[in-house]
DNA sequence: TATCTAAATAGAAATGTTTTTTATTTAAAA
DNA sequence: TTTTAAATAAAAAACATTTCTATTTAGATA
């Protein structure tokens, strides 16, 4: 039965509203990251009325709960992506076609060690993201490196 | 003579305007990251007229040239910081007092390997940032971890 | 199944950072 | 000095994101 978003939302103690489920379905079907407004456009095909604040609020909640991820983009806008990999990992983001791919290297141990032993600080979170051109975009030869 | 910002700007092929130099001096004197508007407030003490677009433009140019760094903050606002360390490195950012400290671990080799060998992609840039509470803020005991 | 309540929502309005525009000024090269 | 491209101030605009509030709804409970 594929992705059981209803039960995922239950587990997260969020009401399984049709719009919330639709947002997850849309993201899970999409191989690229999407902006809140693009997500709303897709929702318009399924719902007569849909408010942009609802989209923003749900995306924030779902990202906070960890079921979707927020892409930190150089253009400083918000983008979201559904990642099936439930392990801690990071992402390679293609700045041309918006593809997102897993990076299984993190270095968290070394970072944590540096922060806690050297700086005597407490690490709350870390972010690592890699930007570039993916395999397919390189093939298309539209980029001069 | 300390920091020779005039010549640094010359090297970067940027005009050494008084405001540009002042922005660099302000940042170099500051142990924390500053917002564009905070930088403008400090500039107001030195210049009668100073436009916010000028501050934004200069910060962007200086960050692009690599002489100052842009802090990617969870609050999604822009912050800038003058870092004296000219080696490639990353930062620990205290979300309470805004202190910035160097992290000398990067993992770029492993990341590059993963991106180029596994994903067959081309890496343009990467960002790594660590958020937390610094040593001093931990001492003040105002945080419950 | 009907009732209830906190959570979720639409729609409109506000927010506020960042960017654009244009006329003017200035750094620094010639 | 003269010249010119770069930098600037000021005002306006852009525009993504958030706030507000009345209404609706999911899902618990009787
Ligand atoms: Mn992933
Ligand atoms: Mn540094
Ligand atoms: Zn990690
Ligand atoms: Zn690095």
Residue A93 in contact with residue A133, Cβ under 8 Å? no
Give the strand pairing for B122-133 and B90-94.
parallel
Query: What is the pLDDT at residue B142?
Result: 60
Residue A68 CA: distances (Å) to CA of A23, A58, B87, B109:
10, 10, 34, 28
Instruction: Provide CATH 1.10.10.10 ranges for chain A.
Output: 1-84
Measured distance between the N- and C-terminal CA atoms of chain B, rounded to whole angstroms: 44
Query: What is the pLDDT at residue A143?
Result: 56
Residue B86 CA: distances (Å) to CA of A77, B65, B90, B98:
29, 12, 11, 21
Residue corresponding to tokens 């001096």: B25
Q: Give me the torsion for CA of B45, B50, B53, B54, rounded to 10°.
A: -90
Query: Tell me: the pLDDT tens digits for B53-112?
Result: 999 999 999 998 989 999 988 888 899 999 888 888 999 999 889 999 999 898 899 999
Residues at the strand C interface (Cβ < 7 Å): A 14-15, 17, 19-20, 47, 49-54, 57-58, 76; B 9-10, 15-18, 35-37, 52-53, 56-57, 60, 77-78
Measured distance between the N- and C-terminal CA atoms of chain A, rounded to whole angstroms: 44
Cβ–Cβ gap A127/B101 under 8 Å: no
DSSP at B102: E
Kindly state the tokens that stand for B30.
């500051």
DSSP string, A32-98: B-B-HHHHHHHHHTT-S---HHHHHHHHHHHHHHTSSEEEE-TT--EEEE-----SS-EEEEETTT-
Closest by CA to B78, choosing from A125, A68, A75, A140, is A75
Query: Tell me: the pLDDT tens digits for B7-19?
Result: 999 999 999 999 9
Strand D nucleotides in reach of protein CB atoms, 7 A cut-off: 6-12, 16-20, 25-27
Fold adopted by A1-84 = Arc Repressor Mutant, subunit A (1.10.10)
Q: Is the pLDDT of residue B2 over 50?
A: no
Q: Mean pLDDT by 10-residue block, N- to C-terminus, for chain A (145 residues)?
A: 80 95 96 94 93 95 92 88 89 90 91 94 91 92 58
Against a cut of 0.95, is the pTM above it?
A: no
Q: Compute the distance between CA of residue B123 and CA of residue A90 in angstroms, rounded to an integer.
A: 14
Q: Which CATH code for domain B85-145?
A: 3.30.1490.190
Query: What is the pLDDT at residue A20?
Result: 96
Å between CA of B130 and C1' of C16: 27
Query: What is the pLDDT at residue A87?
Result: 87
């Amino acid at each position: 039965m594929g992705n059981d978003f209803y039960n995922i939302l239950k587990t997260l103690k969020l009401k399984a509203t049709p719009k919330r489920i639709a947002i997850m379905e849309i993201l899970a079907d999409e191989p690229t990251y999407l902006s809140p407004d693009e997500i709303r456009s897709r929702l318009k095909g399924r719902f007569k009325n849909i408010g942009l604040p609802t989209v923003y609020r749900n995306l924030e909640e779902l990202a906070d709960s960890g079921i979707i991820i927020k892409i930190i983009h150089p253009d400083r806008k918000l983008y979201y992506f559904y990642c099936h990999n439930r392990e801690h990992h990071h992402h390679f983001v293609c700045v041309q076609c918006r593809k997102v791919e897993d990076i299984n290297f993190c270095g968290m141990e070394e970072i944590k060690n540096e922060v806690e032993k050297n700086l005597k600080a407490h690490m709350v979170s870390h972010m690592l993201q890699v930007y570039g051109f993916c395999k397919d975009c390189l093939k298309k030869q539209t980029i001069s490196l």
